[in-house]
Amino acid sequence: MHVFDPIPNIFLDFGFVTWYKYSLMILIGIVVAALLGIKEGKKLGIKTDDIIDGILIVVPLSIVGTRLWYVIFEWEQYAWDIMKIISISDGGLAIHGGFITAFVSVYFYTKYKKISLFGAFDIMVPGFLIAQAFGRWGNFFNQEAHGGVIGGMTGNSATLGLDAQRAFLTDTLHIPKFITNNMYLYGPDGLNYYHPTFLYESIWNVIGFIIVLVIRRTKWLKAGDLLAFYLLWYGTGRFFIEGMRTDSLYIGNTGLRTAQIISIIGFFVAAGYLYLTRMVLKNAYYHVVLEENMEQIVTETEEKDL
Task: Write the pLDDT tens digit of every residue in 252-270.
Answer: 889 999 999 999 999 999 9
* Per-residue confidence (pLDDT) for residue 77, from 0 to 100: 75
CB 100 within 8 A of CB 64: no
Phi, psi of 269 (to 5 degrees): -65, -40
Q: Does 302 score more than 70 pLDDT?
A: no
Verdict on whether the full-model pTM lies above 0.75: yes
Using alpha carbons, select from 119, 133, 97 the residue that is nearest to residue 37. Answer: 119
Task: State which H helix or E strand residue 122 sits in.
Answer: helix 117-141
Q: What is the pLDDT of residues 9-61, one digit of tens each?
A: 999 998 888 899 999 999 999 999 999 999 999 999 999 999 999 999 999 99
Average pLDDT of the residues in 276-284: 94
CB 125 within 8 A of CB 227: yes
- Give the integer Cα–Cα distance in Å for 43 and 299: 14
Q: Does 90 score more than 60 pLDDT?
A: no
Can you state the percent helix, strand and coil of the chain, rounding each to 5? 65, 10, 25
Provide CB contacts within 8 A for 109, sequence distance 6+. Answer: 54, 57, 58, 115, 120
Q: What is the pLDDT of residues 153-196, one digit of tens each?
A: 998 899 999 999 999 999 999 999 999 999 999 999 999 999 99
Give the pLDDT band (50/70/90) at residue 73: confident
Q: Does 84 score more than 70 pLDDT?
A: no
CB 145 within 8 A of CB 206: no
* Per-residue confidence (pLDDT) for residue 67, from 0 to 100: 86
Provide CB contacts within 8 A for 69, sequence distance 6+. Answer: 94, 96, 97, 98, 100, 249
CB 66 within 8 A of CB 94: yes
Out of 213-222, 230-239, 295-304, least confident range: 295-304
Q: What is the pLDDT of residues 203-234, one digit of tens each?
A: 999 999 999 999 999 999 999 999 999 999 99
* Per-residue confidence (pLDDT) for residue 301, from 0 to 100: 64
* Per-residue confidence (pLDDT) for residue 68, from 0 to 100: 86
Question: 53-57 contacts: CB < 8 A, separation 24 or more?
Answer: 53/113, 54/106, 54/109, 54/113, 54/120, 55/30, 57/105, 57/109
